[in-house]
Structure 1
């Protein structure tokens, strides 16, 4: 037996040595990623090269190359991940002004990504879109206009704050510098000058952006992430800049990004942006020419559905591009994969050892709560009504967002194992018999929908007939049928199926009914869905849309008494990685009677109204067409009329009102500062957002959040949405805000003393150190964010002031802390038109320091910069 084992061992060694000898150089982990990439490219056909430059990179079995997905999202947790940690929406994290905590958050997010990825590898599951190691985060566009629905994904309106938070995100995702393997690949998006509107992003041409705005506002964060954080991916944007699509702009992708900044990694396109070249921008004649233009301009990976890059071999045949040029771009793509270690054995990759137990771990849940608490921004607190007493007789919690789980999750989100709504958070502070709850009002409409499902029937049976197919085309034999007798609310999120026998993904459903009109009136068909949906009434198509994130739809329809109306709703779950969801109701709208609500509140003095808006109304390219909302953006920034009227009714009834505003963007709250006693800006707080709100309202946490955006007084203060000039926008170019950038109250008070500087003058290239005494003059421990702004004196075209430093400090009651903030040489850089670049010009500079950007909250000093 021993001899047999020796022989077997010898034979195994021979086979193993032969295998090693037959290894291709690209399979050798001791070579550099660039060497491995060049060797692999030499073994590929033109068609294989093309597929490796698509975001779904198909496998090449003959070379042992696995399928790879470039498109994952980690905006504030794993998008479409289940039982994962969901942190506050990005704009809320920015309100913390705590880049160290943000780094911890994204270190946790990258842990969860790695654990899920390797578990899938071990169990033989294919990693689909959104579950890979390339993560298209962070969004570092400037939130220049509060109407932009995707502004919630950013870190606000200021280039410096965006830079600080963005660098922390990238470092948390990619792991420590100098590691052999990157933890993940982060992506700075969308390059460049991109911030709405959503409805015109595929056709918009920005041809009047000043060089000053370009270099001082839109580019600094991208430059910093490239040069300071070594970000491995940059995503180019949809629109054109000076007539060139951003994904086909040699100026952006070659001159600025690679030549000027030294970026040597890969550029990915926004999804469908290459197709836009010929379908929308009309700068290319077809997809073959679009593919060649994009690759030559510097876009290495195409995200899309019908890939133009698959036509690259045809582009070579036409002489539009040569194979060597393709190889140069593909080398960056493959080197990135080798940098992740995804082609190497897990035993060589330290990140593969991260256990599944980190996902939704106690530590990550605590981190989500800490981040949510730090995001809470107190805007108003008349007569110190907050914190609320826990000995109150009874309190009312009302409002459309009070008990809404999905609102807390924001957009680009995953799904946690548990969510604490704001109502549930309040229930942790008071006994149930002390809390009265009522929705109170609708989120956006001053109407309620009375269901008319009772007037619906099909084939003699009440309600709607539902038929299901396990494909998205309604073809073949149905797999299930059932009768729906009440308004439909179906989702695969947390469920196994729409109906027994129906797939979780890639299915279709048809809902049929006949509505008999009891009155001549206007009824409404209400939908909320994610997928593809058609509504057909009496064989006429009333609505047909594809929606890749949930959106509410209102379809009015006039009916005549006694007549029958055949209604058919066809739904398809068409998107990979997305949960299917459908809400459907048929009804009539009736005005809200706020008198009934006031009657319910008799004997209750304090009312917490939880309102604002919702990620179902603001977001990316959404088919939303309600008053004040369009295509994912807003057409005005006022609080919806339904909530405004409800607050006014409460005020008239003599109630003390605590308004909790949930939104991913600024709301104009001019009437509300008079109507409400306290206003708490709660953003979209993630899985623990409700607990964080309650902790602040009842004084178990002292709020310290600061606004990362300006809250304007009204919509009239805003200019043309498509005008990208910064004139009159943000705190840097206007000083008449309702609540200014950097503003936020505490339950204690702070006094800012006179700053000391380490030099009375500096030379260009030298730093300046400010030491600022900060005293907590109140009776509670608290955190303050000390902010430093800079302005070049006599610069009449430049910003009024611009943030160049900040530090978040925790100070015990009655104590003073010396806060040292260094203004680095770049703090004094502004655009120099004569040099056509950012530069430090000799002259006098003014610096401001304090607790917000409001000039009333700031002290100042001056420093000359010598030649």
Structure 2
């Protein structure tokens, strides 16, 4: 019964497409950014010859620029160079979960009134579906290229956000793929591949993984991100915070990394050569540019007082490896830094080489955009029915069924003909798309979605999520008494959690809990609670209330969120989402400052630890929790019980080091060590469905090892009574290794236990040499 597209009729969609096509063909194609074949000044110059290697073209262009021209290219609103036929360019565009107008590089209007708005990242992450993440990236980059061709957007997108959702109060946790480093890293690589395309060195658009590193506090208890010094151990940097960025660069081949506002161990990230030049570019081999978070260089001079003069701040940034400043600081102070001898022109050239490299790979120096790859994309390729269908599918896959007592779900259109739809988020539009969103193609609210299945009685219950009074409660209670079932849609929005707005607690805001309990007590039929939020909510009261039959978490489900919620409520879609973050009880926050960065627990300090990997206390719902309308069982069909770890070079002859019986990853022949596990998944329930296999490893006991860690995940669709075999390949060095207190990644020898739901399998890792020296 649910429509495959947003709430626009096919005829209206046809008209919109027709208008877009007519407007596209009635206007001039975008003029070339540079190297216009009609410009005699640049015809034949080497930097305009796309037959030459990019490095040679970049070198030629840099050699033709004056110092002042170079400096004006170091900032996001890069100036034009008219004498060389180069136009000005705005680097700052955003595409977190759809083309956004948050950055000045993108404008909606005219032939581009909106773009497909996918679910917020935390919701999409709950699908645990890497192919979906890449598919979304492909659609977003199609729409981004189309808007660029139409003069409405840039080609450099400062997305995705792959920071770890370390603390449940973080207002920007909604932008991230959750708390697990491997999930965040795989999301990063998948989404970036979708955005950037697979045309080799050429880029469809240029993505950016942000905010490097240990950035996960905005404004808490008087501490803001501009003043915060994150004190992080080498162990936690290597084991947690840097993992998604490393995977983004090395596996996703991202074109950019953004450094963050905060300091890490006393050094601003955008001025730290160990982080930028040594790690991102040196160890991980970034092929692209490093950009500051907006005004970060100014922040560490003006706010953090890291340097005595602005010239020193500019010099520190460029020498550390920063290539582009989001903000005016480098344009204002770099020339003075050169005159003072704090910087050399070759340093500026190095920064420009990295940004120009990306622009060349984007085709910005290849002449007319219409004659390049992706030059045919236009308004007809934005908000297409197929794109909107993918937004709906992504929302469906990201919804998590937390509770189903009885079972109370799915609802039946035959038995539940009248639905009371209640709550401050029951008929919202913008709330569903979260932050860093653009203008959606259209919306289906929860009330509209449910209205496709049954007659609705709508009462808001609270005027907004703050829910400061009970003036609307009686009408909501009356609606529940007169309906066959009640759906309460409550939770949070950007007034509670957002950029620069961290939460103060984990409970539902205001009197929402009171509303839910009163309505549930009065409801004539089953009561279902639907939660919209980015961060976790302590809903223990609802979990324990027998009158509340079901609980769904929808995150911020995007433009088609209401349709997806209704499809799950009525069983058109079998829920398959899993929580990408732990849901803690409110008292977890007792004596737990957001400023404490340690991941591991400490009994002596009464410190509980963070995320499922290091916290062992009570939870409302654990990481990976998510129910289905059917039942799956899985068994290990085949897996090794012992794996030999071959040692590299001189280490193979006994001259290696083991700490606590753990081999350094750098001492192993990692390319040869892969662990294959075959799992049989059977659907023994009564409904077709998809099952997410979460494979955890519990390493041998050790004071620096996690309790367990996710090492692989795969999604498989299994029809009723059918069985599917799934092959899981686990890279031993990447995923069975742990990090010691010195920040060294090691592979523990001995028994590792793989956990897939209730299924366990033990594997012994042994060094493939007898002459190992312990240390």
TM-score category, normalised to shorter length: 0.7 to 0.9
Matches within 5 A, 1:92-103: 92-103=123-134
Give the alignment's TM-score, normalised by structure 2.
0.85
Kindly indicate whether the alpha-carbon contact (under 8 Å) linking 1:197 and 1:722 is maintained by their aligned counterparts in 2: no
The residue that corresponds to 1:637 in the other structure is 506
Shift of 1:354: 2.1
Choose the corresponding residue for 2:78, options 17, 37, 57.
57
Matches within 5 A, 1:12-411: 19=40, 23-80=44-101, 81=108, 82-120=113-151, 131-179=153-201, 181-198=202-219, 200-207=224-231, 209-304=232-327, 306-345=328-367, 346=369, 348-391=371-414, 392-411=416-435
The residue that corresponds to 1:805 in the other structure is 712
Distance 1:752 1:152 in 2: 32
Distance 1:220 1:640, change over 3 A: same
Distance 1:593 1:141 in 2: 39
Distance 2:471 2:695 in 1: 48
Partner secondary structure for residue 415 of structure 1: coil
Structure number with the higher strand fraction is 1
Aligned length: 678
Distance 2:678 2:341 in 1: 63
Kindly indicate whether the alpha-carbon contact (under 8 Å) linking 2:401 and 2:626 is maintained by their aligned counterparts in 1: yes
Shift of 1:23: 2.9
Kindly indicate whether the alpha-carbon contact (under 8 Å) linking 2:688 and 2:720 is maintained by their aligned counterparts in 1: yes
CA distances 1:400-448 after superposition (whole Å, capped 9, x unpaired)? 0010101111110011231000000011112xxx311010124444435
Partner secondary structure for residue 353 of structure 1: coil
Poorly superposed stretches of 4+, deviation over 4 Å: 16-22
Partner secondary structure for residue 536 of structure 2: coil
Kindly indicate whether the alpha-carbon contact (under 8 Å) linking 2:117 and 2:441 is maintained by their aligned counterparts in 1: no
Kindly indicate whether the alpha-carbon contact (under 8 Å) linking 1:141 and 1:154 is maintained by their aligned counterparts in 2: yes
Distance 1:860 1:643, change over 3 A: farther
Structure whose CA Rg is larger: 1
Distance 1:385 1:717, change over 3 A: same
The residue that corresponds to 2:499 in the other structure is 620
Q: State the superposition RMSD in angstroms.
A: 1.9
Shift of 1:385: 0.7
CA distances 1:39-83 after superposition (whole Å, capped 9, x unpaired)? 111121221111111001011111111111111100000102432
The residue that corresponds to 2:577 in the other structure is 705
Distance 1:294 1:761 in 2: 46
The residue that corresponds to 1:745 in the other structure is 627
Kindly indicate whether the alpha-carbon contact (under 8 Å) linking 2:690 and 2:716 is maintained by their aligned counterparts in 1: yes
Distance 2:523 2:557 in 1: 30
Matches within 5 A, 1:496-645: 591-592=470-471, 594-621=473-500, 632-645=501-514
Partner secondary structure for residue 677 of structure 1: strand
Give the alignment's TM-score, normalised by structure 1.
0.76
Kindly indicate whether the alpha-carbon contact (under 8 Å) linking 1:29 and 1:344 is maintained by their aligned counterparts in 2: yes
Partner secondary structure for residue 693 of structure 1: helix
Partner secondary structure for residue 135 of structure 1: coil
Matches within 5 A, 1:411-490: 411-430=435-454, 434-447=455-468
Choose the corresponding residue for 2:518, options 649, 652, 672.
649
Kindly indicate whether the alpha-carbon contact (under 8 Å) linking 1:140 and 1:162 is maintained by their aligned counterparts in 2: yes
Distance 2:187 2:250 in 1: 15
Kindly indicate whether the alpha-carbon contact (under 8 Å) linking 1:844 and 1:865 is maintained by their aligned counterparts in 2: no
The residue that corresponds to 2:528 in the other structure is 658
Kindly indicate whether the alpha-carbon contact (under 8 Å) linking 2:212 and 2:260 is maintained by their aligned counterparts in 1: yes
The residue that corresponds to 1:465 in the other structure is none
Distance 1:840 1:217 in 2: 16
Shift of 1:163: 1.2
Matches within 5 A, 1:666-677: 666-675=536-545, 676-677=548-549
Distance 1:23 1:155 in 2: 47
| Between 776-785 and 607-616, the greater mean CA deviation after superposition | 607-616
Distance 1:19 1:399 in 2: 64
1:714 equivalent to 2:594? Answer no
Distance 1:654 1:77, change over 3 A: closer
Distance 1:162 1:116, change over 3 A: same
1:757 equivalent to 2:644? Answer no
The residue that corresponds to 2:559 in the other structure is 687
Shift of 1:665: 1.1
In structure 2, list runs of 5 or more residues that go unmatched: 1-36, 102-107, 601-608, 647-669, 769-775
Partner secondary structure for residue 511 of structure 2: helix
Kindly indicate whether the alpha-carbon contact (under 8 Å) linking 1:138 and 1:188 is maintained by their aligned counterparts in 2: yes
Matches within 5 A, 1:728-807: 728-735=609-616, 736-758=618-640, 760-764=642-646, 765=670, 766-807=673-714
Kindly indicate whether the alpha-carbon contact (under 8 Å) linking 2:253 and 2:287 is maintained by their aligned counterparts in 1: no
Distance 1:91 1:18, change over 3 A: closer
Distance 1:393 1:292 in 2: 68
Partner secondary structure for residue 375 of structure 2: helix
Shift of 1:22: 5.5
Distance 1:794 1:787 in 2: 21
1:725 equivalent to 2:598? Answer yes
Shift of 1:17: 12
Shift of 1:619: 1.2
Kindly indicate whether the alpha-carbon contact (under 8 Å) linking 1:704 and 1:746 is maintained by their aligned counterparts in 2: yes
Distance 2:699 2:544 in 1: 37
Partner secondary structure for residue 133 of structure 2: helix
Distance 2:235 2:187 in 1: 23
Kindly indicate whether the alpha-carbon contact (under 8 Å) linking 1:668 and 1:715 is maintained by their aligned counterparts in 2: no
CA distances 1:731-786 after superposition (whole Å, capped 9, x unpaired)? 11123322111110010011122452045333253111111121111010011101
Kindly indicate whether the alpha-carbon contact (under 8 Å) linking 1:197 and 1:721 is maintained by their aligned counterparts in 2: no
Distance 1:324 1:185, change over 3 A: same
